[in-house]
Structure 1
Amino acid sequence: MSEQENKHRSVMLIDDNEIDNLINQKMIEAANICDHIYTHSGAKSAIEFLKNIEKLGDTGVQVLPEIIFLDIDMPLMDGFQFLDEFEKLSDDTKEFCKIVMLTSSINPQDVNKSHKYASVKQYINKPLTQRNLEKLAI
């Protein structure tokens, strides 16, 4: 598979820690796995973004992120609340967007809970590394 075939159109980072978002953005840029990176410092704004894209219909598919890196521990709306809202989106969106939990949580309950969501494809502990990006099974 050529690098171009393996490249995604867009990726989304959702983390309330701006420094983590910046570092993760730089890691993703260095890995050259996508053309666009959307960053959200809150899960609420990220879910609103996805809902607005859905309203665009077929045009929205062009901007939907193929991979969403999601933190768990965030104020206002945590990662699991985001997942609950994400489950209410259209089947097409849920099929297209693959979620990777990217968190500092080492709580086994969080790992187990994340497996209950079909959209969650992987669970990675922070920090995001080039090795993690290379091993993305998505």
Structure 2
Amino acid sequence: MEKINCILLIDDDPVTNYLHESLIHSVLETAQILIARNGEEGLKLVDKGCSDGEAPALILVDLNMPVMDGIGFLKRYKQWIEQYPSSSVVAVLTTSTNPRDIEKVAQLEIAPLLPKPLQEEHLQTLVETYWQRKSSRSNL
């Protein structure tokens, strides 16, 4: 599977972050994993960039968090990418089955919704879908 240089996990639960970080390391080759505890911290890390100065290639954001939730992060991130175009892939992780939550994410049109905790097959599908698409575009 293709190497992803930097991944950002945004979730207020340290156990979930540990599980997701372990899963990522077991499935993907990655140079760096950044962790934020809420959307506000996540935006700061996106703005700061990874050790190579680039925005994270993959951002996994929880929906329900204190300070700034996933919807707040997605709205602000959408504004950020209008100013600083990015090829980051964003996915929302949630346990919510609330139709309102699902509709809010869908309206923003920037992130697929995945069940939480992240499973290996979802991570592989996400990476294969987006990185194969990027690779095929760069070969044109």
Q: Which of the five TM-score ranges fits, normalised by the shorter chain?
A: 0.7 to 0.9
User: Is the Cα–Cα contact under 8 Å of residues 4 and 28 in structure 2 kept in the other structure?
Assistant: no
Residue among 79, 97, 117 paired with 1:88: 79
TM-score (norm 1): 0.82
Provide the residue aligned with 1:97 in structure 2. Answer: 88
SS in 2 for 1:10: strand
Q: CA deviation at 1:52?
A: 2.9
Provide the residue aligned with 1:10 in structure 2. Answer: 6
Q: CA deviation at 1:111?
A: 1.6
TM-score (norm 2): 0.81
CA RMSD after TM alignment? 2.0
SS in 1 for 2:64: coil
Provide the residue aligned with 1:39 in structure 2. Answer: 35
In the TM superposition, structure 1's runs of 4+ consecutive aligned residues that sit over 2 Å from their partners are 90-95
Structure having the higher helix fraction is 2
Structure 1 window deviating more from structure 2 (26-35 vs 93-102): it is 93-102
User: Is the Cα–Cα contact under 8 Å of residues 3 and 29 in structure 2 kept in the other structure?
Assistant: yes
Provide the residue aligned with 1:56 in structure 2. Answer: none
Q: Percent identity?
A: 25
Q: Which runs of 5+ in 1 are unaligned?
A: 54-58
How many residue pairs match? The answer is: 127
Q: CA deviation at 1:32?
A: 1.7
Q: CA deviation at 1:51?
A: 2.3
Q: Which runs of 5+ in 2 are unaligned?
A: 131-140
